[in-house]
A and B are shown apart, each in its own frame.
Chain A
Amino acid sequence: MTEGEEPDVAGVLERVKTGVEAFDELVMGGLPRGRATVVAGTPGSGKTVFATQFLAHGITTYQENGVFVTFEESPRDIESNMYSFGWDLATWRKQKRLAWVDASPRADDELVLGEFDLNALVARIRHAAETVDAKRVVLDSLTQLHDHFIADPALLRRELFRVSLGLKREGLTVLMTAERNSEYGEISRHRMEEFVADNVVILRNVLHHEKRRRTIEVLKMRGSHHAEGEAPFTLMGGRGIVAVPLSSLRLEQESSTTRVTSGNTEIDAMCGGGFFRDSVTLVSGATGTGKTLMVTNFLAGGVAAGEKALLIGYEESRGQLFRNARGWGVDFEKMEADDKLKIVCLYPEAQSLPDHLLTIQSLVDEFKPNRVAIDSVSALERVAPETGFREFLISLTSFIKKREVAGLCTATSKSLVGGESASEQHISTLTDSIVLLRYIQQQQTMHRGLMVLKMRGSEHSKDIRKFAIDSSGMHLGAAFERAPNVFSGPGADGLEGL
Chain B
Amino acid sequence: MTAPSLILFVSGGSPTSRRARENLARLAAHDLPADWVVEIIDVMTDPARAEESRILATPTLSLGDPARPRRIVGDLSERARVLEFLGIETRSEAP
Complex Cα–Cα for A151 and B8 (A): 21
Pick 10 A–B contacts, CB within 8 A, sort by A.
A108-B71, A109-B69, A111-B81, A113-B74, A116-B57, A118-B57, A119-B14, A119-B58, A127-B50, A149-B57
B36 near A: Cβ within 8 Å? no
Across the two chains, which residue of chain B brings its CB closest to A103? Answer: B56
Complex Cα–Cα for A114 and B74 (A): 5
Contact status A111-B50, CB under 8 Å: no
Contact status A124-B75, CB under 8 Å: no
Complex Cα–Cα for A113 and B51 (A): 22
Annotate B39-63 by CB proximity to A: 1 below 8 A, 0 otherwise. 0000110011011001111111010
Give the dominant DSSP class at A's interface.
Answer: mixed
* Contact residues in A for B43 (Cβ distance below 8 Å): 119-120, 123-124
Interface residues of B toward A: which range? 20 to 34
Contact status A108-B77, CB under 8 Å: no
Contact status B74-A117, CB under 8 Å: no
Annotate A132-166 by CB proximity to B: 1 below 8 A, 0 otherwise. 00000000000001001100000000000000000
Contact status A103-B54, CB under 8 Å: yes
Which one of A110, A114, A123, A145 contacts B71 once the chains associate, using CB atoms below 8 Å? A110
Known contacts A107-B69, A117-B16: does B78 contact A124 (CB below 8 Å)?
no
Across the two chains, which residue of chain A brings its CB closest to B84? Answer: A111
* Contact residues in A for B71 (Cβ distance below 8 Å): 108-111
The total of chain A residues at the interface (CB under 8 A) is 27
Complex Cα–Cα for A382 and B82 (A): 68
Complex Cα–Cα for A120 and B16 (A): 13
Across the two chains, which residue of chain A brings its CB closest to B60? Answer: A120
* Contact residues in A for B81 (Cβ distance below 8 Å): 111, 113
Known contacts A113-B81, A114-B78, A120-B60: does B47 contact A126 (CB below 8 Å)?
yes
Contact status A113-B47, CB under 8 Å: no
Complex Cα–Cα for A121 and B77 (A): 22
* Contact residues in A for B9 (Cβ distance below 8 Å): 120
* Contact residues in A for B85 (Cβ distance below 8 Å): 109, 111
A102 near B: Cβ within 8 Å? yes
Complex Cα–Cα for A65 and B57 (A): 26
A427 near B: Cβ within 8 Å? no
A341 near B: Cβ within 8 Å? no
A89 near B: Cβ within 8 Å? no
Complex Cα–Cα for A110 and B62 (A): 9
> What's the minimum C-beta distance from A134 to chain B, rounded to whole angstroms?
14
Across the two chains, which residue of chain A brings its CB closest to B23? Answer: A114
Contact status B51-A128, CB under 8 Å: yes
Contact status B59-A109, CB under 8 Å: no
* Contact residues in B for A109 (Cβ distance below 8 Å): 68-71, 85
